[in-house]
Amino acid sequence: MDPVRNFTFILLFLIPLFLFSQNRADIWYFGDKAGLDFSSGNPLPVNGSKMLAEVGCATICDTLGQLLFYTNGREVWNRDNNIMPNGDSLEGGIDFVNQNSLVIPHPGKGNLYYLFTIDTLSGGLRYSIVDMTLDSGMGDVSVKNILLEDNVAGKITAVNHCNLKYIWVIVREMESNVFHSYMVTDTGGICKTPVISYSGDKIMADIGMMKASPTGNIIALPINNTNIFIELFDFDNEAGIIGNPRKILKNNNEIVYAYGTEFSGDGKFFYVSTGGKKYELFQYDVTSGTQDEINESVVKIASGNMFSLQIGPDSKIYVARANDNFLSVINSPEKRGEDCDFEESAIYLGDNESLMGLPNFNQSYFYFPSFSFSNACVGDTTFLWIDNGFNFDSVKWSSEKANIDTIVENIPFEIKKIFDETGDYDVKVHLYHCDSFDTVYDKISVHRAPDVFLGNDTTLCEGKYLIINAPEDMEQYYWNTGDEGSSIVVWDTGVYWVTVSRNGCFASDTIKIENIPAMVQLPTAFTPNGDGINDFFHPQITGFVNDYHLIIYNRYGQIVWENDNPVAGWDGRYNGQMCPVGMYVWHFKYKVKKGDSFKIVEKSGNVNIVR
């Protein structure tokens, strides 16, 4: 038995690598003058917005998290909540377009921002340019409503190129299976000739939000035809190619359409809000593999008032509630099922209201790759690996003190190390992709495994109990009985073991408890002379007996003493008179436990009164 191995990966240390967000999504404006500020780490309501956005809207901050401007697709407001010069009459649909706008910083010119708009009625994807050097640093729409293409659906999303500098802006043609991926570069700005991909089914109803996963490798698109809610596509964030569609099928005839879509920050789980006769929220494991496995992984999370979904800078997913002063939230979207911790009406918006939409962002703002480790214990094998490594071709691990210098080229980019000494070890990680890399530094604290000793193997009398104690200064206890405290009470024989943990290190010990069978023995003589020595005839009992009964006869077969108490003794008297010396006959019986039943034991013998 090796109980330690059962718990090897229970305790994981997560170290965030903040590479991509740059605080660009710290401020959200949406709905009916609603706003949130994430800069403190927790979303707080913001007042002052002048915007009414039934659904589509977008917000952008600078790299310090300070608001620059926001839009509902038709008008652009600066950070003082005034419409920018030339910031009206943009051609983003506000009545029928779910994603009518998106803001992308120019990768090579820090003062310029591309504001993409979609209006399905006028039929077009357009862009405008906001120059933040104009109007005394408040911004001005210097270029306006430039048509890129027509006949697009009301869906737009963005994600970083794998080189971490360029950005992909992705749209879908209205009544076809064609995606257009526009690359925005640091030198040329928007590449006017998109990468075209033919994949998936036609959109039946132009409802719902298209989203890229923050990890940059999956695109989710609502289809909303007779049988299909969503299609999930692989996205090559180097070439801009979209393919390998997997269909998420309708699982309830009462549900008419898929609306809000979002991924957990680690890219493992996908969430969709649905509408029609019922409004519900579902979770899918998109790492399950095949289309059938993804569909079988579905878990219903909640039902009620829920529309757009948007991941936040804190990696939680926020849920719009129509005509409400609150947002709902998925607190732990990277966990399966109810462990995702959906909380209804969690975020108060003050006097302002959520409607059906939340701001649209470059999804890479919410990608926080991390590395994890387990078993950082002296003499044990420590495992280190990259979480969410979809964006990397290879990883180089380095630690001078730990003598680590290793390049790994396969997800999850895992290495193994056995540490000989306790202490803090600096670890450096280079993350490579598309001829670029990022570097992360952090520490791993290595500890010794705890000491645990349950005692030597021992015995247990039938009917008795034994307390087995483990050390009290542990963080976790795992007994093979299912107990989780520092001690257990046992009534039965057998093998008992415990695994304890402290500082992420584990140790185990085992104790074997054997049975002492119940036994009753009686002496062959006693001397009831009142000298305090051997004055009583009584049984010597080992273990635990039930229904005990002892009878003593004289030579004539007459009962001179009878008792059911195994601790009581005969003092040699009958009817208050001392019995004569000589031999007497005894007979007793009792029950002993044998497994789940009892066995009757009967014995007879002689005892002599001696004076």
pLDDT at 15: 41
Q: In a 10 Å sphere around its CB, with 0-12 CB exposed, 13-18 middle and 19+ buried, how is residue 234 labelled? A: middle
Residue (of 47, 60, 245, 246) closest to 139 by Cα position: 60
CA separation for the pair 602, 590 (Å, rounded): 7
CA separation for the pair 179, 100 (Å, rounded): 17
In whole angstroms, how far apart are CA 501 and each of 385, 476, 484, 544? 21, 5, 11, 37
CA separation for the pair 569, 531 (Å, rounded): 16
Task: Note the pLDDT tens digit of each residue in 424-440.
Answer: 999 999 888 887 787 77
pLDDT at 123: 65
pLDDT at 386: 85
CA separation for the pair 355, 98 (Å, rounded): 12
Distance of CA 196 to the CA centre of its chain: 36
In whole angstroms, how far apart are CA 452 and each of 93, 145, 375, 383, 501? 67, 71, 17, 24, 10
pLDDT at 435: 77
Let me know: does 90 contact 114? Beta carbons within 8 Å: no
3-class SS of residue 6: helix
CB atoms within 10 A of CB 58: 29
CA separation for the pair 221, 3 (Å, rounded): 45
In whole angstroms, how far apart are CA 243 and each of 220, 429, 538? 11, 31, 89
pLDDT at 426: 93
CA separation for the pair 96, 57 (Å, rounded): 13
Let me know: does 396 contact 441? Beta carbons within 8 Å: no
Residues 6+ apart with CB under 8 A from 142: 86, 129, 130, 131, 134
CA separation for the pair 505, 446 (Å, rounded): 9
Q: In a 10 Å sphere around its CB, with 0-12 CB exposed, 13-18 middle and 19+ buried, how is residue 495 labelled? A: exposed
Backbone phi, psi, residue 399, to 5°: -160, 115
Cα dihedral 129/133/139/142 (nearest 10): -30
The C-alpha angle with vertex 257 and arms to 251 and 258, in degrees rounded to 5, equals: 85
The pTM of the full predicted model, rounded to 2 decimals, is 0.77
Let me know: does 137 contact 150? Beta carbons within 8 Å: no
pLDDT at 114: 98
Task: Note the pLDDT tens digit of each residue in 70-107.
Answer: 999 999 999 999 999 999 999 998 776 899 999 999 99
Q: How many helices (H) and strands (E) does the chain have?
A: 1, 51
Residue (of 24, 38, 39) closest to 347 by Cα position: 38
Element (H, E) at 232: strand 228-236
Q: Helix, strand, coil % (nearest 5) of the chain?
A: 5, 50, 45
Which residues of the chain, if any, have pLDDT below 50? 1-20
DSSP 93-129: -SSS-SS-EEEEE-SS-TTEEEEEEEETTTTEEEEEE
CA separation for the pair 333, 346 (Å, rounded): 15
**Domains of the chain by range and CATH?**
24-366 (2.120.10.30), 369-446 (2.60.40.10), 458-516 (2.60.40.10), 519-609 (2.60.40)
DSSP 308-346: -EEE-TTS-EEE--TTBSEEEEES-TTS-GGGG-EEEEE
3-class SS of residue 258: strand
